[in-house]
Structure 1
Amino acid sequence: MLRLIHAAPAEPEAPRSQASVRYAQLKPDILAGKVRPGNKLKINDLAAQLGVSPGAVREALSRLVPEGFVISQDQRGFTVAPISIDDLLDLTRLRYDIEEIALRRSVAEGNHGWEAPVLATAHRLRRTPRIVDDAPNFDWLTQHELFHRALVNGAHSPRLLAWNVDRSRDVDAEHQALVDAALDRDADALAARISRRRQR
């Protein structure tokens, strides 16, 4: 049986929230190689391990299909997509390109209702440790994705975002700079800061 490293949440969540959290769990596991390319992803087994409904797991896996991480085949279920280093680099470049477009649209189209979630998610992210017991903290990964999603939601275009555990970076300062550029409605600065992340 496929084993994931995450514990089930302590409190029940709404189905869509469950799916979003499971998606945020499964994606880094696939990227980190904890779930190997070609492995079959058994919905009922994953649901039991994660303590959620099969429907939430199915929705999470379905979200990973168009991103190229999971393959869905009729009558055969879901498997982890075969992927190479070149594929990962291409996906990363594409994600940054899409994110830059969405950030510019958020600055142009976002109203005050867009700014509030940016501030709230940035605050939660700052208060969540990145590393716990010398390992990436799943709660931080979740908050990190929610923060970046809030940045692009002014354009209603949330996109795939990766996580980074490079301890030499001042990630809190990087995220605060993104918040400042967003609230200043400075699309060029926002895009430039995202571009710097791409080059690291």
Structure 2
Amino acid sequence: MVPDVLPCYLVCDVSLSMSGHIDEVNAGVREFRGVVHADRRPAAQVRLCVVVFAESPTVVRPLLPALDRAAVIRPRLEPGSDFGSAFTLVRTTIESDVEDLKAQRIPVRRPVLFFVSDGRATDQAWPAALARLTATTSCPEMIAFGVGAVDQTALDRIGTSRVFLGRDGVRLGVALASSVARTALRPEHV
């Protein structure tokens, strides 16, 4: 029997306002991989995709087993944080990934989207792009992680499942690992 796959999407703001927090993000991804390595049983089912964005989004790591080495996230010297284009790219990426897994007859759990930002969007239309993402049949569980001087209202709109704040002493790797573990225990499929 083929084990269920849990697709996880780390969507990270790498704009100028986030430049002082990128080392923390990379440390969090390494910590998450360490947690996955420690428990190989669920590790086989967890796959990770990394999307970065500033003025435009890019997939820097396609959906691969979480045990595989992750790409190093680098800041961009761009002042914009276009949340809308990031949500649009993630929506099409999730839809494509879920279709590919289903075509391979691999059972797919509800995806997890872990959004890392200070919450300071520079585009005004991002709520509409977020609504389109959450209206899909493969709607991900939405978790936000705020770093720096956050816009709490924006992060609360994005993190409909949970919101973590770095200023509260929560480490990104721990928040990501606990969110994935919590989701892996539920029998939700898309």
What is the TM-score with the length of structure 1 in the denominator? 0.28
Structure with the higher helix share, 1 or 2 = 1
**Higher RCO (C-alpha 8 Å, min separation 6):** 2
Bigger share in strand: 2
When normalised by structure 2's length, the TM-score is 0.29
